[in-house]
Structures are given as structure tokens and as C-alpha cells.
Amino acid sequence: MPHSSADAPNGILLVDKPQGLTSHDVVARTRKKADTRRVGHAGTLDPMATGLLILGLGSSTRLLTYIVGLDKEYVATIRLGTSTTTDDAEGESLGTAPAAQVQRVTASAISEGVATLTGEIEQVPSSVSAIKVDGHRAYALVRAGHDVQLKARAVTVSEFDILSVIPTTDAEGNAVIDVEVRVVCSSGTYIRALARDLGFKLGVGGHLTALRRTRIGGFHVTDALDIYDVAEPPVLIGPADVARRVFASIDLSLEQAVDLSHGKKIELEGQPESKEPVAAIGPEDRLVGLIAVKAGFSRVLLNFPPYDPIAAGDEVDLTETTTS
């Protein structure tokens, strides 16, 4: 029997997604272990990718909207010399550059290409992304045979470090260059597109052969569990602990917590005005809600009552603003 709303699991679970599983597969396994339908994730990872997947359970799924917008860190391998239909190793080859052309690509040229893809840039997402076009996922339209042209969007690549440059050959004996990189970027940045664009700038084509997400905001993959090691029921990070990692926070008295949970404005003398949400934490370390502060008073943005008022429902889907 699924949990009642009073005792349903509520919190955040950090999972180190293995290669080969979809993000939905991880959600489905977690639903079974937690015995609840109310599970969502903050930022999809392709089956080929590994690394940090943040799951929200119970009313903590409401926090996923804020977590998905945090900056992200990846370690990836870009293969220069071959382009694919999906900009990664799962797609079909679009062609391989001549060996002599690949061999003329120098480490300094790669560094210059990376530099042009660092900072605030305009990026055209991969056509097989989860972005919606006329109500349909782009990848679904591509699989159905449609020609999908996505618009460029502004993203920020704050760090794009080259870790190694290794000239090698692929399985067919073609000359290629494997470039291992570390990328820190804004939400909505496609690492596959960086691989594609670097290969284009160098005139030899490029695609992604490995991708691992190591961090989302203040959450690190080193703190994540293998999905097969998740307990039944899972041990979760509590909503208040999660909120403190994502937002500035203030502690409330019992009276303030009760008033705020009923949507009332409360006086917060000495509290500076906030442009970003502030987590309001009540007694017994309970996340009461997210608020804005103006002129010394609160304004409720989102409340978290003692019991989840939302009946068990479908998976929370935030993939439109995620990266891969």
C-alpha cells in the first residue's frame, strides 16, 4: 500500500546514475523503493551519461524547480574527427575527416576553439534534445522523420578546462583526437552541442563520447548513492537541509511559523530585502516555505505545510530546461 500523505517520504535523494539507465528508469526504481508515486528529478541525463541525478520525493518535488536552475559541472570526452546525427556516440556517423586534416589540429588550436565557446555564448541545442517544439519533444519529432531546426539560446559556460588531449584512432582505424574536458555551465547548456561546435570550429567535426555530471549547485556526486544501493525506504536529505543549500535562510519562532503557514505576512525586523527566495525554517527544523522580504515583512512565494496536501500523482517533468 502506498504511504498516506501524513507519512509519505519527503526530501531529496542524490543518485549516481549508471550508464545505460534512463532518468525515468531511476525514478521508477525509486518509486518502488520508497513506495510512493510522488517522485521527480531535477535535470535529465541521457542513457549514455553517468553522474549526479537529484530526485525529489513528496512535497520536496516543489524544490526541484529551483534546483534545476542551478549551475552544473561535467567531465566529458569530446572526440574530434567525426560528427554524428545526435552529436554523441549514440548517433550515426555523418562522416570522418581525412587523417591528414585531423593530424594538423594542434593543442593550441583546440585551446583557441575552447576559448571561443567560453563565457556568455549563443548555442543551438542538439536536435535530439528534450526541448518542446509545438508541444512535442524535439527528439521524438526527429525520430518520426521531421526536420527539426531549434533556435539559438543564450547560455553561460563559466569554465571550460582542457584536461587532456590524446591523438588516437577509432574502431574503424580513423585518426581522431580525444579531448577530455571539465565544464561548468548554466542550466540549459548542452555539452553535446559544445562538442559539435568545437569540432566545427576546428574543421574536422566532433561529438561526445563520454559525459559525467559531477555537481549541481551545492550538491556533489561524491555524496550520491548508486541506485542499487538505495535503501528501502530511501534515506533522504530533509527539505530544510536542502533549502539551506539552495537559498539564504531565516529561523522563525513557532508563532511566526504558524502565521506564515497560513499565508499571513509576518514582521521580519532587521531582515534585508531579498530579490531571491529566502527559506523560512520553523521549529524542529521544518521548512515552512519560501518567501520574499520587502520593507521588513514577508511575502509568501511557496508554502510547505506540515502534511503534503497534494495527492500522489505523476512524475514531475522538468526536462525542458535540463542539459545533456
The number of distinct structural domains making up the chain is 3
Judge whether 320 lies within some domain: no
Query: Looking at the predicted structure, is the pLDDT value of residue 199 above 80?
Result: yes
Query: Do residues 216 and 112 lie in contact, with contact meaning Cβ atoms separated by under 8 Å?
Result: no
Q: Which residues pair with 95 in a beta bridge?
A: 83
The pLDDT assigned to 151 comes to: 83
pLDDT digits (tens, 9 = 90+) for 246-258: 999 999 999 999 8
Same domain, 230 and 297: no
Same domain, 107 and 176: yes
CA 59 to chain centre: 19
Judge whether 156 lies within some domain: yes
Query: Looking at the predicted structure, is the pLDDT value of residue 310 above 80?
Result: no
Same domain, 209 and 157: yes
- 318 pLDDT tier (thresholds 50, 70, 90): very low
- 321 pLDDT tier (thresholds 50, 70, 90): very low
Same domain, 207 and 84: yes
Count of residues making up the chain = 324
Same domain, 205 and 270: no
Last residue of a domain, one of 180, 215, 250: 215
Query: Looking at the predicted structure, is the pLDDT value of residue 4 above 60?
Result: no
The pLDDT assigned to 262 comes to: 86
Same domain, 245 and 228: no
- Higher-confidence residue of 168 and 137: namely 168
| Domain containing residue 288 | 240-303
Same domain, 84 and 134: yes
Q: Which range has the worst mean pLDDT, 163-167, 240-244, 269-273?
A: 269-273
Judge whether 263 lies within some domain: yes
pLDDT digits (tens, 9 = 90+) for 93-137: 999 999 999 999 999 999 999 999 999 999 988 776 666 666 666
What is the mean predicted confidence (pLDDT) over 7-28?
A: 91
Query: Do residues 70 and 63 lie in contact, with contact meaning Cβ atoms separated by under 8 Å?
Result: no
As a whole number of Å, the CA-based R_g of the chain is 22
Query: Looking at the predicted structure, is the pLDDT value of residue 33 above 60?
Result: yes
**Prediction pTM value:** 0.87
CA 1 to chain centre: 31
Q: Which three cell numbers stand for residue 295?
A: 520593507
The pLDDT assigned to 286 comes to: 92
The pLDDT assigned to 263 comes to: 84
Among residues 46, 88, 197, 308, the one annotated as catalytic is 46
Last residue of a domain, one of 237, 272, 293: 237
CATH number at residue 55: 3.30.2350.10
* Residue 7: active-site member: no
The pLDDT assigned to 304 comes to: 84
The pLDDT assigned to 133 comes to: 63
Q: Which three cell numbers stand for residue 91?
A: 548517433
Residue 40 dihedral angles phi and psi, to the nearest 5°: -135, 170
Query: Do residues 237 and 13 lie in contact, with contact meaning Cβ atoms separated by under 8 Å?
Result: yes
Query: Do residues 240 and 279 lie in contact, with contact meaning Cβ atoms separated by under 8 Å?
Result: yes
Query: Looking at the predicted structure, is the pLDDT value of residue 29 above 60?
Result: yes
Same domain, 86 and 190: yes
Same domain, 130 and 245: no
Same domain, 85 and 198: yes
Last residue of a domain, one of 215, 248, 269: 215
Query: Do residues 177 and 166 lie in contact, with contact meaning Cβ atoms separated by under 8 Å?
Result: yes
The pLDDT assigned to 307 comes to: 35
Same domain, 191 and 252: no
The pLDDT assigned to 140 comes to: 65
Judge whether 168 lies within some domain: yes
Q: What's the chain's average pLDDT?
A: 87
